[in-house]
Amino acid sequence: MTSTTLDLNDACKGIFKDREWPFKIMVGAFINCAAIGLFKVNPIFLPLCFAMWGLTCGYSLRVLRATIKGDLEKLPDWGDPIDLLVSGLSWLSIYLGFSFFILSILAMSLLVAGATSLISMNNPAFLPWAQGTFALVYILFVFFTFFLSILMANFAEEERMLAGFAWFKVLKRIARQPRPLLTAWLCGTTITGIAVIVPAISVIGMVLVPFLGFLSNVLALRLIGCSWKTAEQI
């Protein structure tokens, strides 16, 4: 068994050594649910919702930071909410920037298609255009999801805004050690997908989705943190 495998196992099992892990996960799940609920009640609460998501995002960064430092025996506390809010909103702004970039590519494709009549289903070039646009957006989405997961680890480790723009540093580490980083991301994505989709099949299971969703997110972040640390040491 390789050291990478051992690190990933420790990242998953270590969380349950903390006696307060259900409470810490429940806090994050409740904040996320409350934010979604407020937005559904009235979109005017969107700024407050972003602040609440900033708290959970800040906690995610704190989990990553603790994992990179090697603290796998417990989850970090929810203390110092101002620090959580500032760091979380800082990362959300970077994340939204990448999201808008992908949306801008889709919008540009639609504008070009509209100007050249490609968007008409009667046009024989419509199907190739639609398939090409979908494939491009999907590939960019997958790549940026992976890239942002690794960039988030660098952002959490350095604790400064410029770390969110250290793209070349992150790309160099991915190119140098793609295996541990890609393995951790795939494992984390799979865990999150299973934790959200499987319980949602039943009505009773849907009640557990917020808790399991946040738990799987924490597990995925710990995997990324371990792989980032491993890739740095190799």
**Structure-block tokens of residue 124:** 């024989």
Tell me the C-alpha distance between 46 and 86, whole Å: 17
Per-10-residue mean pLDDT, the chain, length 234: 57 83 95 93 92 96 93 89 94 89 80 70 75 86 93 92 90 90 92 88 83 93 90 68
What is the pLDDT at residue 1?
A: 44
**Who contacts 157 (Cβ-Cβ below 8 Å, separation ≥6)?**
64, 65, 68, 163, 228
Please report the pLDDT score of residue 118 as a whole number: 67
Query: What's the pLDDT score for residue 8?
Result: 66
The predicted pLDDT at position 13 comes to 79
Query: pLDDT at position 189, please?
Result: 92
pTM summary value: 0.87
H or E stretch at 157? helix 126-158
* Residue that has been written with the tokens 């951790």 in this structure: 184
| Residue 117, pLDDT score | 67
Number of H helices, E strands in the chain: 8, 0
DSSP state of 164: G
CA distance 167 to 170: 5
- In single-letter form, the type of residue at position 78 comes to W
